[in-house]
Amino acid sequence: MKIDHFAYRFLPATTPGLPTLVLLHGTGGNEDSLGDLGAEVMPGAACLSPRGLVLEHGMPRFFRRFAEGQFDLEDLAFRTSELTAWLAVALAHHGAADAPIVFVGYSNGANMAAALLMAGIRADVAVLLRPMFVHRPAQIAPMAGTRVLISSGARDRITPPESATQLAELLREHGAAVEQVIFEEAGHDLLRVDIERATRWLRGLTETQRLSPGSR
């Protein structure tokens, strides 16, 4: 696979020793959508952000769906394998193959990040913003040592918190340490409280050396 298979943005680290953030946008986003978010939740970290290859009415996504909440699972499997292969190439290309990885995904991007974790891609931490339970794959990789923060909105009708709770339970079944927060005032859009919570959570992992090279 070639590096230009995905359109993407890479911002090199300005602070040595921090993880690489892999930023995965929501429907209609692109490689620039989560750049400011990445810079805020972990200042100084390298950021790698691909653009989803699937188009839904012209809006980029990471995998197809037939309708709201109805997903093309064959396409999800294919896109998961495709993105896994590309990430290996991109991280090596930018000298980040051995650095800890943090997934930060929003909505469709959060669902893609969860699929990558279940497929066995190496990741130390994932911040899943407005994810939902998509399906239970026949084979799920062990995730012992992976830490996951799920951020849900109580008023979210697109990715309801009950569905995100199902996802949290599935990840826990396979060894991940999962924390889910539900903000009563939030819908599907992200609020300042989402960003502040993710920032504090990641800072805590960094300060306790749980996000340093060789931590796993």
Active site members: 107, 156, 188
Do 149 and 104 contact (CB within 8 A), yes or no? no
Residue 187 in 3-state DSSP? coil
DSSP code of 79?
Answer: H
Do 158 and 188 contact (CB within 8 A), yes or no? yes
Do 176 and 117 contact (CB within 8 A), yes or no? yes
User: Across the chain, where does the E strand assignment appear?
Assistant: 8-11, 20-24, 46-50, 54-56, 59-61, 65-67, 70-71, 101-106, 125-129, 147-153, 177-183
